[in-house]
Amino acid sequence: MEKHLTQEGLEKLKNELVYLKTVKRKEIAERLEKSISFGDLTENSEYHETKEAQGFLEGRILELDDIISNAIVVQLEKKKNFVQVGSTILVKAGSQKEKFTIVGAEEANPLEGKISIESPLGKALLAQSKGVIVEVMSPQGKVQYKILKIE
């Protein structure tokens, strides 16, 4: 399945994959070796915890491999008159102004102001131009966002 990413997001995922394959795999292997040395594996909680951690690690590695191999790196068009993946936008909701960057789902991090194109707000803002007001349902009810600036 195709994944839309910015170049920065793709690089972060590649770096994470290298780290997991080189550093974390080695750490898990060392932990497994140590826990096996404790003897009887049937009642060895350290061994079972490490095997579980290994499963999660390998799952994440497979996930990252899939995302990276199916990544479509989005290139921002030079014209900044509409919201697209990679756009940083300034919006006004009520009396508050907020700045968001529209990114692919794999890069989303609301605490950093990175909003997924698959989120309700991301979907509403995508392809809109400056001055447009979009309405999004939130847990508090409908919220209107006016696009003030697109970078």
Does 67 fall in a domain?
yes
- Using DSSP bridges, classify how beta strands 133-138 and 88-93 pair: parallel, antiparallel or unpaired: unpaired
What is the spatial distance between Cα 146 and Cα 44, in angstroms, rounded to a whole number?
Answer: 58
Q: How confident is the model at residue 78, as a pLDDT?
A: 62
Question: What's this model's pTM, rounded to 2 decimal places?
Answer: 0.72
- List of long-range contacts for 111-116, beta carbons under 8 Å, 24+ apart: none
Choose the final residue of a domain: 48, 73, 98: 73
Residue pLDDT, tens place only, 76-92: 666 668 898 889 999 99
- Same-domain pairing of 110 and 144: yes
Tell whether the model's pLDDT for residue 12 goes beyond 80.
Answer: yes
What is the spatial distance between Cα 58 and Cα 112, in angstroms, rounded to a whole number?
Answer: 27
Choose the final residue of a domain: 44, 73, 102: 73
Residue pLDDT, tens place only, 21-48: 999 999 999 999 988 887 777 777 888 8
What is the spatial distance between Cα 104 and Cα 9, in angstroms, rounded to a whole number?
Answer: 8
Domain of 17 in residue numbering reads as 3-73
Choose the final residue of a domain: 50, 73, 96: 73
Instruction: Report which secondary-structure segment, H or E, holds 143.
Output: strand 141-150
- Same-domain pairing of 69 and 130: no
